Structure 1
Amino acid sequence: MDLSTRAVDIVELMDDPDADDEALGRTYQRFGAVNAVVSRPGRLYRRDIRPRAASGRRVRVLDIGAGGGDLCRDLVRRLRRDGLQADITALDADERAVRWASAHDDGAGIRYRHAFSGDLVAEGDTYDVVLSNHVLHHLDAGALRTVLEDSRALAGPRGLISHHDIARSRLAYTAFAAGTWPLARNALAGSFIRVDGLLSIRRSYTPDELAAVVPSGWEVRSHLPARLELRWEAADGRP
């Protein structure tokens, strides 16, 4: 497998407008368990969400490209456990994702929007935290530029932007392939998780590649396991 460059021309199965609805639903359903291991949402919560929510006001969070909404639901659970409050918006341009996520809200009270980030900019929305998970690798150069510009517009005067994704590497590909292989015939059966996960890694940036294409003022950070974060923070850095 050639991982020397981004495989920008491949398309993930779940992005196919004719994708099987049942398989797509099973994929959304299993994202929570997969992302709990791969994305480590607890780190995002402890570092960026909880300190802002603990300031005594209701923090506003926007998840761009929220998919099945698993990250948003995870944040709500953690906030409620700690007695904190937030208004969380799950945004996705795919109506299928929004429909599934809203039907599986499970009392989280998340606001679901079928729209583009530019639509929220036009409405004058602002948020304390703008984030995404596994979105950057889906974007071509123009779409990436647009999402970053929109993110800056949507972050309030003390806002934080934190876009998370996979970091492409041979280790990431091999580890995901090996880790999901035993589950392919049971826990992940009938979903797109394994195939699309491997395609995602092939489409993803390395930290150096991402740093080379983003505007000044953005910081690229590397995290374990095989993660990258594209971050922008208001100058004073205070919640």
Structure 2
Amino acid sequence: MTPVNLSRRDEQLLELMDDPNCDPQRLNATLRRFGLVNRLISGWDLIYRRRLRGILTSLDRPARVLDLGSGGGDVLARLAELAARDGIAVDWTGADPDPRAHEAARARAEPGISFLCADADELISRGESFDVVLSNHVLHHLSAAELQQFTAASRQLCSGTVMHTDIARGRLAYGLYSVAITPLAPGTFLRTDGLRSIRRSYQRAELASALGPDWDVSSPAPFRLLAQGAGHV
């Protein structure tokens, strides 16, 4: 087996679920299982406790939070669950331009949690504004130009804090994921696309350099990156 080169991003490597003609059954199974996978690896529970909760409680009204590129909606639903446990009122919105992801996310909609089939530009054109804009596992999908466009648009939609999380590329993350995901992978794209995601992802210094000095890039949990910046609304 040829060793995988993780010394730099493999931006040309495509993920199977990004193919509009991919197997819809495997795609749906992948989106459903993201709920468990993200609970295990995304680090959002920790980010909520250490950063997001304080922001949500600092307002004298229910905060408006946008998950940009929300996929199957599991991260937004989990954050809403955590806030509800703490008695924090929040208006949660997920937006994703992929109708396949939007259809999966709609099953998680409930009072206070809504999902839109829309991208950032459409929300900007509507004049939308949110107190917090976040994303999970979006940045590694983007080219250098798309990264600048996406993060700039996220700031245009935000009056408070923007938080983008992603995987930190590394050999240990690659090795551990390849083994740990095996029980959940049958019938999904989780193993192939997860390993490709790691190969496409940034290391901390790379992401900080790509985003520039307006962003603070940290590692809030093992194998995770968090890019945090101020909104521009």
Q: What's the TM-score once normalised by structure 1's chain length?
A: 0.90
Residue in 2 that maps onto 1:218: 215
Query: Partner of 1:133 in structure 2?
Result: 136
**How many angstroms apart in 1 are the aligned matches of 2:195 and 2:170?**
11
Q: How many residues align?
A: 228
Alignment-mate amino acid for residue 177 of structure 2: F
Q: Which consecutive unaligned segments of at least 5 residues does structure 1 have?
A: none
Change (3 A) 1:26 1:234: closer
Q: 2:73 aligns with which of 62, 66, 69?
A: 69
Preserved CA contact (<8 Å) 2:65 2:132: yes
Q: Which residue of 1 aligns with 2:197?
A: 200
Distance 1:140 1:79 in 2: 33
1:38-57 map, 5 Å: 38-55=41-58, 56-57=60-61
SS at match of 1:190: coil
If the length of structure 2 is used for normalisation, what is the TM-score?
0.93
Which string of whole-angstrom CA distances, capped at 9 and with x for unpartnered residues, describes residues 212-232 of structure 1? 111331111123311111110
Q: Does 1:14 align with 2:22?
A: no
Correspondence for 1:179: 180
Deviations, residues 8-37 of structure 1 (Å, cap 9, x unaligned): 111111101011111111111110111111
Match of 1:232 in 2: 229
> Moved runs in structure 1, 4+ residues, more than 6 A?
none
Tell me the CA shift for residue 85 of structure 1: 1.1
CA gap of 1:106–1:124, structure 2 versus 1, over 3 A, is closer
Name the CA distance, whole Å, in 2 between partners of 1:209 and 1:140: 13
State the match for 1:80 in structure 2. Answer: 84
For the residue of structure 2 that corresponds to 1:107, the secondary structure is coil
Mapped contact 2:124–2:156 kept (Cα < 8 A):
yes
**Mapped partners of 1:151, 1:109: distance in 2:** 21
Q: Deviations over 1:64-117 (max 9, x none)?
A: 111000001101111221222111111112111001110x21635422111111
Aligned: 1:89 with 2:90: no
Q: Secondary structure at the match of 2:181?
A: helix
Contact 2:170 2:203 in 1 (8 A): yes
Corresponding residue number in structure 1 for 2:36: 33
Pick one of 11, 27, 33 that aligns with 1:24: 27
- AA in 2 matched with 1:52: I
Q: Distance in 2 between the 1:191 and 1:219 partners?
A: 34
Q: Please state how far the C-alpha of 1:177 moved relative to its aligned partner.
A: 0.8
Amino acid at match of 1:221: S
Tell me if structure 2 keeps the 8 A contact 1:210–1:220.
Answer: yes
How far apart, in 2, do the equivalents of 1:213 and 1:38 lie?
Answer: 24
SS at 2:108 equivalent: coil
Give the letter for the 1:160 counterpart.
T
- Measured in 2, the distance between the counterparts of 1:36 and 1:7 equals 26
Let me know the Cα RMSD of the aligned residues. 1.6
1:189 is aligned to 2:192: no
Alpha-carbon distance in structure 2 between the residues aligned to 1:143 and 1:232: 17
